[in-house]
Amino acid sequence: MVSNAFSAPYLPAGMRSVKIVVLGPFGVGKTSYIGAISEIAPLRTEERLTQAGQVVDELNVATKSTTTVALDFGRRTLGGGIVVYLFGAPGQPRFADMIRSLLDGALGGLVLVDTRRIEESFESIGLLEEADVPYVIAVNTFAGAPLYDEAVLRDALSLPPDRPVVHLDARHLESAKTGLIALVADILRPMRSVT
Amino acid sequence: MSPVSAAGHSRRGVVRSHTVIGADPAPAGVHVDLATLLSVDPEAKGRGLRAQAQRVMALCAPGVLSVADVAAHLYLPGGVVRTLVAELVASGHLLAADPFVPVAQRHEAEFLERVLHGLERL
């Protein structure tokens, strides 16, 4: 029962939050990305999920089991009373219900892709499409990872033609922020064209 | 619906955290997001609250925090905190501001322009 109240990162009054969900498979760089953008050390919460009969476990077949999934998050205050919260969501299909819940109320999603295993980001894209949440694809440029022509990448991910693709280094703010800029610019585009 | 989402995803509905933790259901009409910002209503009294709710109130007393911040700092699952917060909002102890989601109106474009400029200045 240790209170962390003294170290809690309080925000000024009157701010408005924006939620952005960072998706992609395990090890693609979600936590690095959140750490690069965040002004606080990334924090972690646990979400519990119940999967009735979903878990194939020889000791626990067809029973109701509770699992937890860790969500890493960070935040960045911008000028003008805006604070952006970034949540990292694991892309595994078994967490789909939790991700759907997380996408509720999100401004948008950023799907990190490792070109050595593009197909592992496919599930995240499906969840975003289903939730009708705008998103961008951010290719995390790992050293030594194959470089793909954008058309090949789009084909491999069955990506709708209107979804932006950016290439970035998830570890560095200057590069990482281009993913968020592309996302917000994409959301703004149809609003600007309304006269 | 794009071809991507048609690839075998079955919609089984969102698992509400309060249904799996055994806590009281969230009060009707109170929506609480992990990115909802919380502040203590200065008029509110903390007496008579359960221990976990008192911990939330004590943490939030000095300033504004998100639900996710509260969960992380109290080492409680996000779903538990969302339920606690929904009760505290319904009872008037906490004030809550949900995250911004656009519905394509002009003032929302202005807000998003500010988000964009803020990101570009990082």
The domains found in chain B, sorted by start residue, are 17-120 (1.10.10.10)
Domain at A13-193: CATH code:
3.40.50.300
Lowest-confidence pick of A11-15, A93-97, A103-107, B21-25? B21-25
The distance of B42 to chain A (nearest Cα, Å) reads 13
Q: Which residues, 6 or more positions from A59, have their beta carbon under 8 angstroms from its beta carbon?
A: none
pLDDT level of residue A187 (50, 70, 90 thresholds): very high
Question: Chain-wide mean pLDDT for chain B?
Answer: 80
Of A2, A15, A19, A133, which to mutate for an interface test with B (greatest number of B Cβ within 10 Å)? A19
Whether the per-residue pLDDT at A64 is higher than 70: the answer is no
Looking at residue B45, its pLDDT comes to 76
Q: Is the CB of residue B57 less than 8 Å from the CB of residue B49?
A: yes
Looking at residue B31, its pLDDT comes to 80
Task: Give the residue with greater pLDDT, B27 vs A191.
Answer: A191
Whether the per-residue pLDDT at B67 is higher than 90: the answer is yes
- What DSSP line would sit under B61-106, residue for residue? TTSBEEHHHHHHHHT--HHHHHHHHHHHHHTTSEEEEPPP---S-H
Strands B37-40 and B94-97: antiparallel
- B-chain residue closest to A36, CA distance: B122
Of B31, B56, B64, B105, which to mutate for an interface test with A (greatest number of A Cβ within 10 Å)? B64
- Chain B neighbours among A 166-195 (CB < 8 Å)? 173, 177, 180-181, 184-185, 187-188, 190-192, 194
pTM above 0.90, yes or no: no
Whether the per-residue pLDDT at A46 is higher than 90: the answer is no
Instruction: Give CA A22 to chain center in angstroms.
Output: 1
Mean pLDDT within A155-175: 94
Residue A106: list chain B partners with CB under 8 A.
99, 101
The distance of A180 to chain B (nearest Cα, Å) reads 7
Looking at residue B69, its pLDDT comes to 96
Residue A102: list chain B partners with CB under 8 A.
34
User: Per the CB < 8 Å rule, is B68 touching A43?
Assistant: yes
